[in-house]
A and B are shown apart, each in its own frame.
Chain A
Amino acid sequence: MQIGVDIGGTFTDIVALDRDGRVTLTKVPSTPKDLLEGVGAGVQRVLRLAGASPEAVERFIHGTTIATNAILEQKGALMAILTTEGFEDVLELGRQKRARMYDLDMDPETPTFLAPRRRRIGIRERLDARGRVLTPLDEGQVRAAALGLRGQGVQAIAVCYLFSFVNPAHERRTREICREVAPEISVSLSSEVDPTFREYERTCVTAFDAYLGPVVKRYLAGLAATLGELGVRAVPLIMRSRGGIVSAALAAEQPVTLFLSGPAGGVIGAKVAAARAGVRDFVSLDMGGTSNDVAVVRDGEPLIASEGAIGPYPVRTPMVDVSTIGAGGGSLAWIDAAGGLRVGPRSAGAEPGPACYGRGGDQATVTDASLVLGYLNPDRFAGGLMALDPGAAEKALAAIGRKLGLDPVAAAAGIHRVINARMADQIRLVTIKRGYDPRRFVLVVLGGAGPVHGVPLAGEMGMAEVLVPEAPGVLAATGLLFAAIEHHHARTLQAPTEAIDLAAVNRCLAELDAAGGMRMRSERAPVGEVRVAYAADMRYVGQAYELEVPIVAPVVREGMPAILGAFHAVHDRVYGYARPQQPVEFVNFRAVHTYPLPPPALRPTARPVGTIEHARLGERRAWFGHAGFVATAIYDRARLPLGARVAGPAIIEQADTTTVLPPAHEARVDEAGNLRLRRTA
């Protein structure tokens, strides 16, 4: 049996898959104070539901928010930074630009909370840009610093010297000394966490790594203990930001790679669901209670960003390229100074939640609007776990509507229009930034709220089709079961493509391969089944941003025209022009080692037979634009047979979401069980 556990903000989702391909899905409330409580409860519950014993668990895969929570709540380790002398303030100076341009009352936008100046210590040492020693490492000073920090109870140290990505000797020696003097302090080296140039970004990610280290290690040790107590013997595998999984022991060595663990699982889940239906190019939209995550999947693979951000802070570790905005079911509607209706980014959260939750919230949210428009079933919300109060929703909408001169229904429709416009703009910015035309993509909607908004969003974007996977609310957990073991390594090597030093490039690639190979041996991956993909970050000489281009190792002279051609083509796609006459340089090289685990066999779920009439639950009035309120058929998704076609207007209900199908649209249940929504007229 395989078990996937994904922790979300509100619920922890658990999926179990037994040897016969039978799937068991369940949810338990997340337990933010101690996330493992929810994990333990969830595993017990899924084993009970599946009627399986803990010993039967062969593989356990986990997506966790522990890293993100530790940063957002500022609950990481007490940490310190050792820097090159004279550069103690790199973390605090940042890039000096401010995001809030006209705000006289703004707060700092660099993560100084990680290590205030008293815990950022300059060490006498200096390399030049080619890695040659200008000032040798002052080992005595390192020793004294480590002792002093130990005395202060520091739990983790980040070492970030200039040009350590060219020559890591000083950083490595520093770690040796720290280990001698203070073996209990964990040490993160910038030359290992992120050996690429730009000191602020490298310092940030290394500092986050150190900050998260003790928290993540404690968590993963706790996870092993929790599973052990339950009798589960499988070694846990952990989902990382890039969408690959690793053994817990290796995850603990690179804690910062976990910080987008949750959203990555969602995208992988969408990829698996879409792939079963032959859909390889799509935009995934994961709309939950507070936020909306958008990612692009091209030719079956999620786009990867080499750098992300958490709040205003850069976190330069490769990750599934997910863009997040504050737009969810709980987003609050408000009126701005100009009298315009705004929705989000503030959210009612889970407590008090939307007005219709009846927990004391009285401000209108997107969910309240969905209820008043007739999209949600007040008695079957979240699989009947929670009854919604339409009266409370209407009261909240009436209040905001009065200020706009609108009745509650018009206000609700307005809230939907505004939130849809914000999400459409999010998709636009995400796709333009990567150089893709969204009209060529399918929209895959996930999360509890995604399928409510899919059709109008696709219409606005000119996207022809919306795909609703079978269980969009627990897709992140399902995705875990299909992820591959993966290790990524990168290094800066700035090299012109003219008169290229191929030996140096190939030495660099060989080092990256060795590093990845070593990790894969730790994973006990069979040598013959490990795949390696190489890439180079390239740019025109003089540019300051790079584009990733796939390459083949070793690089040979005859292969250079193809590499350059690929670079010009990518540049043309992303930036709209290419300049083949302009000199090009390599900046970084990357290697991704992948071990695709044998894919789990899914037994096709037993499908109901018969006609859609068997799935029909009844009828209620729902609001559709110019048509106003229309009598709308309600269907139970679980009872829709494969191949069934449902004509809009219709609403298709299931435990974890609601799909809204407007008039002049049709929904088809495809052979993989996805709902495919298209316009008919």
Chain B
Amino acid sequence: MSVVIDPILLEVLRNRLDTIADEMELTLLKSAVSPIVKEGLDASAALFNVRGETIAQAAAIPIHLGALQFTAQRIVRAFPPEAMREGDAFLLNDPYDGGTHLPDITLAVPVFADGRAAALACTMCHHQDVGGRTPGSVPTDATELYQEGLIIPPTQLFRAGELDENLLALLARNVRLPDVFTGDLMAQVAAGRLGGTRLRELFAAHGADTVQAYIEELLARAERLTRAQIEAIPDGAYTFEDYLDDDGVDVGRPITIRVTLRVHGSSMTFDFTGTDPQVRGPFNSVPASTMSAVYYAVRAISDASIPNNGGCFRAVDAVLPEGTLVNPRPPAPVSCRTATIKRIADTILGALVRALPGRMPAASSGTLLVLAFGGVDPSTGRPFVASELAAGGMGARPGKDGIDCIETDVSNCMNIPVESVEMNFPLRIPRMRLWADSGGAGTWRGGLGLEKVYEATTTDVTVSHRGERFTSAPWGLEGGEPGRSGRAFILRRDGPREELPSKKMIVLHPGDQLWEYIAGGAGFGPPGERDPALVLADVLDGKVTPPGPDSARAPSR
């Protein structure tokens, strides 16, 4: 239908749709049970049209939001909207069928207008445990998807309001913490239903046809504006390569990610030809995951006031050669793909540096340290699973230092308070602070990374340790120096120190300490041109210690 667009109503509806996504997100975070959702905020909410294009999304985690669009598209293929009924709800986590990795479960609720499904209200939530070989379901040494946990193909959890109790029982029986799992899943249901209610109210207030016509207009405008920004980039091919340390299985063998950004007029293609083949370890990134990095980069170079919806991505496509790290064949394991997506984002941003020299920042840490501790809590006699997500330094920007220890690019999770960890788990944290000298020197300094130590207070605590940037370093720009690479080691109670590769399953006993160092951001511009007042401030603050950033100081107990 053709509608004359009223710019006022357009803004009113854009606002309202964004708020609906925010209300869903709020409901999800508030009603979830697990600390990883509530303290870590590892959950997202968005609305989609029945083609699976994003209408609105809550400000949460880029990695989810790009992926969710893929998942929504898979759900509408598996369950044609014409056949959907009020009260239905659909589930999915299969990475080879629209998902990303197994802990991220998507729940979709159709929203009806005039008896037809008109939209989907979707949430994605990182579940604390979905079974598999290790607590927390992110085994760093998995070699098959089946070891990573429960696989849910596109499935129906509610039929016309009726919960499939058998399915829920089957799912809950396959995870370590069934109460937590069920609680978080029901939080997703509540958030989806709320989104549905709110959208129906909007249809009722303005007419479903009008609202949908305006949604199409918002998508079209986002597309038009994104294209205008791409047109400002000189046509050409811009290639960049970056590396993951290894896949945790073939330890010490770096993995190359290569992208060629082709800009032609108002479109961009990200061609990953030349990327290494898929790996044996769980660092493979399925297309939904890979595209979330692409979408992040598109948003990061766009004007913030462009409506944040699927229209932004119509001008963008990707070449993902099958059988490579960025588009693996099943049943390659994928659980640790966050590391890969972050490196894909680094690689894409690197290609954009070549396309837009002087505008882009130097590389950030490229790391979200993921730790999952498991064992038996002696105070309760029950198993425990504790997860930690920790960030490193941000890369320096043209005109600004990188921020010390902050989430960057595709990830955006909260850390868990030290006091919360020690109150609830048989763990102690003797130290957590900025890692001095880890930011790359430059006219603008890279942000510092993190130094954090964990100590077990009981026996047989298994730890899935997943770092990155141990054997490569965040790259500097225009003469700025690289950020310091990450490292980790175990300091056993009786003295010996075991240096760790970036990924490993380890076991700690009382008094054993795990020392983690997360990479710093890289510098921008020649260090010699740094404002002496800033140099002095860094020295006074102990962020940089004389004689300079290259003094390798071995940490000691």
A interface majority secondary structure: loop
Q: Are B434 and A98 in contact (CB under 8 A)?
A: no
Residues on the A chain within 8 Å of B26, using CB: 429, 432-433
A338-B218 in contact given A95-B415, A102-B62, A577-B186 (Cβ < 8 Å) = yes
Tell whether B80 is near chain A: CB-to-CB under 8 Å. Answer: no
Tell whether A51 is near chain B: CB-to-CB under 8 Å. Answer: no
Residues on the A chain within 8 Å of B526, using CB: none
User: In the bound complex, how far is the Cα of B394 from the Cα of A109, in angstroms?
Assistant: 13
Q: Looking at the complex, which of B15-23, B153-161, B163-171, B486-494 is the stretch in contact with chain A? A: B15-23
Q: Looking at the complex, which of B111-119, B319-327, B466-474, B537-545 is the stretch in contact with chain A? A: B537-545
Contact with A along B122-142 (1 / 0, CB 8 A): 000000000000000000000
Residues on the A chain within 8 Å of B405, using CB: 89, 92-93, 96
Q: Are B8 and A338 in contact (CB under 8 A)?
A: no
Tell whether B306 is near chain A: CB-to-CB under 8 Å. Answer: yes
Tell whether A605 is near chain B: CB-to-CB under 8 Å. Answer: no
Tell whether B39 is near chain A: CB-to-CB under 8 Å. Answer: yes
A102-B7 in contact given A162-B418, A200-B417 (Cβ < 8 Å) = no
A88 to chain B, nearest CB (A): 6
Partner pick for B432 among A89, A117, A128, CB 8 A cutoff: A89
A95, A338, A404, A421: residue with the most chain B Cβ atoms closer than 10 Å = A338
User: In the bound complex, how far is the Cα of B14 from the Cα of A341, in angstroms?
Assistant: 11
User: In the bound complex, how far is the Cα of B186 from the Cα of A100, in angstroms?
Assistant: 29
Residues on the A chain within 8 Å of B430, using CB: 86, 126
Q: Are B16 and A425 in contact (CB under 8 A)?
A: yes
Residues on the B chain within 8 Å of A192, using CB: none
Tell whether A399 is near chain B: CB-to-CB under 8 Å. Answer: no
Tell whether B348 is near chain A: CB-to-CB under 8 Å. Answer: no
CB interface residues, B 378-410, toward A, < 8 Å: 390-391, 397, 400, 403-408
Contact with A along B278-294 (1 / 0, CB 8 A): 00000000000000000
- Interface size on A, as a range, is 35 or more
Looking across the interface, which residue of chain A has its beta carbon closest to that of B457? Answer: A128
Tell whether A339 is near chain B: CB-to-CB under 8 Å. Answer: yes
A198-B433 in contact given A340-B7, A341-B8, A574-B30 (Cβ < 8 Å) = no
Q: Looking at the complex, which of B82-90, B260-268, B419-427, B476-484 is the stretch in contact with chain A? A: B419-427
Contact with B along A326-360 (1 / 0, CB 8 A): 00000000001111111000000000000000000
Partner pick for A93 among B9, B415, B540, B542, CB 8 A cutoff: B415
Tell whether A90 is near chain B: CB-to-CB under 8 Å. Answer: yes
Q: Are A337 and B418 in contact (CB under 8 A)?
A: no
Q: Are A421 and B300 in contact (CB under 8 A)?
A: no
A544-B38 in contact given A96-B391, A433-B30 (Cβ < 8 Å) = yes
Partner pick for A542 among B180, B306, B391, CB 8 A cutoff: B180
Q: Are B420 and A544 in contact (CB under 8 A)?
A: yes
B-side interface residues, number (CB < 8 Å): 80
User: In the bound complex, how far is the Cα of B9 from the Cα of A413, in angstroms?
Assistant: 11
Tell whether A97 is near chain B: CB-to-CB under 8 Å. Answer: yes
Q: Are B540 and A118 in contact (CB under 8 A)?
A: yes
Partner pick for A108 among B177, B179, B403, B432, CB 8 A cutoff: B403
Tell whether B257 is near chain A: CB-to-CB under 8 Å. Answer: no
Q: Are A92 and B434 in contact (CB under 8 A)?
A: yes
Tell whether B428 is near chain A: CB-to-CB under 8 Å. Answer: yes
User: In the bound complex, how far is the Cα of B4 from the Cα of A406, in angstroms?
Assistant: 14
Contact with B along A91-133 (1 / 0, CB 8 A): 0110111110111111111000000111000000010110000
Q: Are A88 and B433 in contact (CB under 8 A)?
A: yes
A540-B33 in contact given A101-B412, A339-B7, A579-B183 (Cβ < 8 Å) = yes
Residues on the A chain within 8 Å of B39, using CB: 544
A530 to chain B, nearest CB (A): 33
User: In the bound complex, how far is the Cα of B394 from the Cα of A108, in angstroms?
Assistant: 11
User: In the bound complex, how far is the Cα of B401 from the Cα of A108, in angstroms?
Assistant: 10
Tell whether B414 is near chain A: CB-to-CB under 8 Å. Answer: yes
Residues on the A chain within 8 Å of B237, using CB: none
User: In the bound complex, how far is the Cα of B417 from the Cα of A579, in angstroms?
Assistant: 26
Residues on the B chain within 8 Å of A579, using CB: 183
Tell whether A417 is near chain B: CB-to-CB under 8 Å. Answer: yes
Q: Are B420 and A338 in contact (CB under 8 A)?
A: no
User: In the bound complex, how far is the Cα of B273 from the Cα of A25, in angstroms?
Assistant: 75
Residues on the A chain within 8 Å of B14, using CB: 338, 340
Tell whether A163 is near chain B: CB-to-CB under 8 Å. Answer: yes
Q: Are A339 and B35 in contact (CB under 8 A)?
A: no
Tell whether A680 is near chain B: CB-to-CB under 8 Å. Answer: no
Interface positions of A (Cβ within 8 A of B): 86-90, 92-93, 95-99, 101-109, 116-118, 126, 128-129, 162-163, 197-200, 336-342, 404-406, 413-414, 417-418, 421-422, 425, 428-429, 432-433, 494, 540, 542-545, 574-577, 579, 582
| CB<8 Å pairs between A and B, sample of 25 | A86-B430, A86-B432, A86-B433, A96-B407, A97-B41, A105-B400, A107-B403, A108-B403, A117-B543, A118-B540, A118-B541, A126-B430, A197-B419, A199-B417, A200-B417, A336-B306, A338-B14, A338-B221, A418-B15, A421-B15, A422-B15, A544-B420, A575-B30, A575-B190, A576-B31
What are the 5 closest A-B residue pairs judged by CB atoms, nearest first? Answer: A86-B431, A117-B541, A414-B8, A544-B38, A336-B305
Given pairs A101-B59, A108-B406, 5 additional interface contacts (CB within 8 A): A102-B300, A162-B418, A340-B10, A342-B11, A494-B423
